[in-house]
Amino acid sequence: MLAEDRLNTIVSMVQQAGSVTVPELADALGVTASTIRRDLQTLDRAHRIAKVHGGATSLERAHVTRDLTISERSDLHNDDKERICARAAALVEPESFVYIDSGSTTLRLIEHLPHLESVTYVTDSVLHAQHLAVRGMRAVVLGGELKPETEALVGPDALATLDRYNFNCGFWGSNGIAAEQGFTTPDIEEAQVKRISMRHTAKRFVISDASKFGMVAPVKFADFRDATVITAGEVPAKYRAMDNVITV
Amino acid sequence: MLAEDRLNTIVSMVQQAGSVTVPELADALGVTASTIRRDLQTLDRAHRIAKVHGGATSLERAHVTRDLTISERSDLHNDDKERICARAAALVEPESFVYIDSGSTTLRLIEHLPHLESVTYVTDSVLHAQHLAVRGMRAVVLGGELKPETEALVGPDALATLDRYNFNCGFWGSNGIAAEQGFTTPDIEEAQVKRISMRHTAKRFVISDASKFGMVAPVKFADFRDATVITAGEVPAKYRAMDNVITV
DNA sequence: GCTTGTGTGCGCGTTTATGCGCGTTAGATT
DNA sequence: AATCTAACGCGCATAAACGCGCACACAAGC
């Protein structure tokens, strides 16, 4: 088995289960724990998974709960995520100019995006841009200051660049989704980028699993009515009925 | 069997299986591992497959090791490069606004740069920005289209951003250094970025090992007198005597 | 017929991946 | 808070994979 394949297998296992332990991986792949640890280190650096004491968890699990233990292990509705991304990717039309927000959910989206020559993708994340470019897509990056934690670009340069663009459609992640408080995120600078990028986009989509409904993060970046939510899973009845919520 | 057919066969095998090892291919095609490796190199350069340690995978699966290995590829003139970078890094003063060009030599430079709170680094390379950010430096990225091969940003957005900046000092790499033809590079778009960034910089430094002297690449981005060259090793006598060449 | 160029195989020194041992560290238990 | 146990990171050894230079074979062109 190729080392590369092993890495990919680990990523799938982590994403499917939400979290796995080192011995589990070692056993499943027929290598020692040392090798697994090294693999996890590699994948962590590549932002494919989050390495934690005892094993690894998927990215958003580590992002939402700063708690870095393996103790609680629940299924992360990963099938949901896949379906959400597949549905969202199908909305990209030929000849369009598409905005991709930073974040782990939109990173997953990239794997589903169509390889159309005529489509240009613009993003505020250097990580996303690299993934797009490696997959052979036309990738444009906003300028600005690079935030090390999220690999996202913020500041006046990012905003100034956005002012020159107008997108056919765009995809954003959101930490909180609530009818009254709208779409919210923890970081004030990233919120600005989200807000301005939405203002320049015709068709706006927020992609998120059902767990974000009813949650509120510190900074609002859009009203609930400003975007269509693409989601899956146990959506509260209140939201399920709304006409800008698509449940797949 | 024609070499061309063999290449096509490899591509189909890779795409069908997802990944294959070098011995598998050598066995299936009746040639030695050396030939397979050469083929994989060719196909990798043509972006038809992704060459990885041990074999090859289809492009879709590749994104794990690839992102990192492209970057960290070191070369021959190691000792010289270290000295050049150390010397160059010492030129960065507190309170300054510094431009870092893309390229492998300038990437090495980043490891030597001082961790001054008051210094902001600007670069046209997402890779360089990531390294700067990881090391805790303030990193700003130009906007623009991302070239997959070099991870550099080019195009009107990059140039427009540069027009708003004025740097105290900057460091560039160069593929060719010649008294008459000046500093040259193979890529016309990257040459533009180099040219404009130089125009907005007070103290300009080209860092390069001695092997580039006398070489001429297709596109010129500056006159020989426009920058001070920091170099090491066997510099031709003609250049060694010049007052804008520093040999360490 | 001779030269030139390209593709292939082989040998060899170098790099990379993996497993193992050991001292250290982080969570869990009491 | 003290203690215990499992996980961890690091260094080292080994084996596989790698890249490079060279030699040879074959084809095309002068």
Give B117-157 pLDDT, tens digit per residue.
899 999 999 988 988 887 778 999 999 999 877 789 999 99
Whether CB of A115 is under 7 Å from strand D: the answer is no
User: Across the interface, do B146 and A140 touch by the CB < 8 Å criterion?
Assistant: yes
B154-179 confidence digits (pLDDT tens): 999 999 999 999 999 999 999 999 99
Confidence class of residue B103 from pLDDT cuts 50, 70 and 90?
confident
User: CA-CA distances (angstroms) from residue A206 to A24, A85, A106, A201, B240?
Assistant: 35, 11, 9, 12, 60
C12 C1' to B29 CA distance, Å: 25
**What residues contact residue A247 under an 8 Å CB cut-off, 6+ apart?**
A231, A232, A233, A235, A240
User: Across the interface, do A148 and B136 touch by the CB < 8 Å criterion?
Assistant: yes
Which pLDDT score is estimated for B239? 93
Question: How many whole angstroms separate alpha carbon B184 and alpha carbon B226?
Answer: 12
Number of alpha helices (DSSP H) and beta strands (DSSP E) in chain B: 10, 15
Using an 8 Å CB-CB cutoff, list residues of chain A that contact chain B: 2-5, 7-8, 11, 42-43, 45-46, 48, 111, 126, 129-136, 138-148, 151, 153, 155, 157-158, 161, 164
| Position A76 pLDDT exceeds 60 | no
Number of alpha helices (DSSP H) and beta strands (DSSP E) in chain A: 10, 15
Using an 8 Å CB-CB cutoff, list residues of chain B that contact chain A: 18-19, 21, 47, 52-55, 57, 59-68, 126, 129-130, 132-134, 136, 138-148, 151, 153, 155, 157-158, 161, 164
Which pLDDT score is estimated for B69? 36
Mean pLDDT of A78-92: 88
| Position B116 pLDDT exceeds 80 | yes
Which pLDDT score is estimated for A61? 66
DSSP conformation letters of B90-158: TTPPTT-EEEE--SHHHHHHHHHS---TT-EEEESBHHHHHHHHHTT-EEEE--EEEETTTTEEESHHH
User: Across the interface, do B139 and A161 touch by the CB < 8 Å criterion?
Assistant: no
Whether CB of B126 is under 7 Å from strand C: the answer is no
User: Across the interface, do B139 and A145 touch by the CB < 8 Å criterion?
Assistant: yes
Q: Which residue among A2, A135, A158 sits closest to B55, beta carbon to beta carbon? A: A2
Say which range, A14-28, A34-48, A51-65, B83-97, has the weakest mean pLDDT.
A51-65
Question: How many whole angstroms separate alpha carbon B93 and alpha carbon B169?
Answer: 9
A181-218 confidence digits (pLDDT tens): 999 998 999 999 999 999 999 999 999 989 899 999 99
User: Across the interface, do A5 and B21 touch by the CB < 8 Å criterion?
Assistant: no
Nearest C-alpha in A relative to B68: A46
Between the ranges A44-58, A193-207, B68-82, B200-214, where is the mean pLDDT highest? A193-207
| Position B75 pLDDT exceeds 50 | no
| Position B68 pLDDT exceeds 60 | no
Q: Which residue among A42, A130, A145 sits closest to B140, beta carbon to beta carbon? A: A145
Contacts of A8 in chain B (CB under 8 A): 61, 64
Counting residues of chain A whose pLDDT is more than 70, the rounded percentage is 92
Which pLDDT score is estimated for B73? 39
pTM: 0.75
Which pLDDT score is estimated for A63? 55
Which pLDDT score is estimated for A135? 75
Say which range, A67-81, B46-60, B207-221, has the weakest mean pLDDT.
A67-81
Note whether B106 and B151 are within 8 A (CB). no
In chain A, positions 47-106 with C-beta closer than 7 Å to nucleic chain D are 51-55
Give me the amino acid identity at A145: E
C26 C1' to A151 CA distance, Å: 28
Nearest alpha carbon to residue B148 among A134, A142, A151, A129:
A134
Say which range, A77-86, A237-246, B123-132, B210-219, has the weakest mean pLDDT.
A77-86
Whether CB of B38 is under 7 Å from strand C: the answer is yes
A242 Ramachandran zone, left/alpha/beta (phi>0; psi -120 to 50): beta
Question: How many whole angstroms separate alpha carbon B215 and alpha carbon B228?
Answer: 17
Say which range, A84-88, B79-83, B123-127, B135-139, has the weakest mean pLDDT.
B79-83
